Amino acid sequence: MKNSNLGAWLAVILGALYFLMPLVATFEFSLRLKRDEYSFEAYRIVLSDPVFQSAFTYSLVLAIVTIVIGILIVVPTAYWVQLRLPKLRPVVEFITLLPLVIPAIIIVFGYIRMYNTSSFLPLTQTVLGTDILLSFGYVALSLPYMYRAVETGMRSIDVGTLTEAAESLGAKWPTILLSVILPNIRSAILSGAFLTFATVIGEFTFASLLNRPTFGPYLQLIGAKRAYEPAALAIIAFVITWACMGLLQVAGGAARHANGAKK
């Protein structure tokens, strides 16, 4: 009993060290821009860099657009599959998992071939077109996370009976989706949204090959040129990711509360 406890603690401590040491080291390093004293100078430089601000804002907007498009595509699809086409579930699941199987670089090369300036839909010809292409690419990339999250949420409520109950009270499809289904899978949608957010903020391949100034390529650029600032940026990226995870936990906690109490 005591031995196994000791072993468990040892594993936890080793694991924590494995994850925390590089992080602590990076953080410590990021504070050493000024000789002989710890300071947040590297952070100040990074945060006041207009390129950082524009790259981060750009990625933020892309992430939000991706989340909105993702929700608009995934929620009605998952709803319809659950309600009317349960036989299609394996097919839809397979399609949503494809982005995990096909490397991003292959997808983006496919896009460039399909939508280049001499194609039938020359999206890459304009900046707006490329942005549209990029955000749809991100929707595809985050499909596995968004669909999984929403589908799990829908399975946890009795979509069929709730729909029928609303129908019998006179509600039509848009009302049912908006006021009955959506609020009850809100935490699932939030989970999907945060995962999408984290994916988009750190994405490099798509943005780089489509030549768009997002946060990912900016991170790479700084890393190639500077010493302390990349470390600060890495910490900033970690904090953002952790904030996402934290929000996910809160949303998940709310869902568990609602589900647990339902019984």
Partner 1 sequence: MSFLEIKDISKNYGANAVVRNVDLNIDKGEFISLLGPSGCGKTTVLRMIAGFETPTQGTINIDNEDITTINTARRNIGMVFQAYALFPNMTVANNIAFGLKIAGRSSAEIKMRVAEMLDLVKLPALGDRYPYQLSGGQQQRIALARALAISPRVLLLDEPLSALDAKIRVSLREEIRSVQRKLGITTVFVTHDQEEALSMSDRVVVMSEGRIEQLGTPLEIYNQPRTRFVASFVGTLTILSAKIIDSAARRLTICDQPVKSKLSPEGKTGQEISVALRPEAIRIGKPGANSNNLNANVIDINFLGSIMRVKVRCGTQDILLDMFNQSKGKPPAIGSAVTVSFEPDDLVILNA
- 241: part of which helix (H) or strand (E)? helix 228-262
Q: Among 91, 165, 178, 239, indicate the residue that binds partner 1 (CB under 8 A).
A: 165
Applying CB under 8 A, the span of 133-141, 155-163, 216-224, 244-252 interacting with partner 1 comes to 155-163
For partner 1, the closer of residues 60 and 258 by Cβ is 258
For partner 1, the closer of residues 32 and 186 by Cβ is 186
* Helix, strand or coil, per DSSP, at residue 117: coil
Shortest spacing between CB 253 and partner 1, in angstroms: 15
* Helix, strand or coil, per DSSP, at residue 126: coil
CA–CA separation, 54 and 10 (whole Å):
44
180-209 residues in contact with partner 1 (CB under 8 A) are 180, 183-184, 186
164 binds partner 1 (CB under 8 A): yes
Q: Among 73, 92, 171, 240, indicate the residue that binds partner 1 (CB under 8 A).
A: 171
102 binds partner 1 (CB under 8 A): no
Q: How far is CA 108 from the centre of its chain?
A: 18
139 binds partner 1 (CB under 8 A): no
Residues binding partner 1: what is the number (CB under 8 A)? 22
Beta carbons within 8 Å of 104's beta carbon, 6+ residues apart: 141, 203, 205, 206
Shortest spacing between CB 247 and partner 1, in angstroms: 20
Q: Among 26, 167, 204, 221, indicate the residue that binds partner 1 (CB under 8 A).
A: 167
CA angle at 48 for the pair 45 and 53, rounded to the nearest 5°: 125
Contact 149, 155 (CB under 8 A): no
* Helix, strand or coil, per DSSP, at residue 214: coil
CA angle at 68 for the pair 71 and 235, rounded to the nearest 5°: 110
Q: How many CB atoms lie within 10 A of CB 201?
A: 20
Token pair recorded at residue 188: 């699932």
* Helix, strand or coil, per DSSP, at residue 3: helix
Q: Among 78, 154, 157, 207, indicate the residue that binds partner 1 (CB under 8 A).
A: 157
For partner 1, the closer of residues 139 and 176 by Cβ is 176
- 12: part of which helix (H) or strand (E)? helix 2-30
Applying CB under 8 A, the span of 59-67, 87-95, 134-142, 170-178 interacting with partner 1 comes to 170-178
254 binds partner 1 (CB under 8 A): no
Shortest spacing between CB 64 and partner 1, in angstroms: 24
Shortest spacing between CB 197 and partner 1, in angstroms: 24
| CA-based torsion, 84, 86, 88, 92: positive or negative | positive
162 binds partner 1 (CB under 8 A): yes
166 binds partner 1 (CB under 8 A): yes
Q: Which residues bind partner 1 (CB under 8 A)?
A: 157-158, 161-162, 164-172, 175, 180, 183-184, 186, 258, 261-263
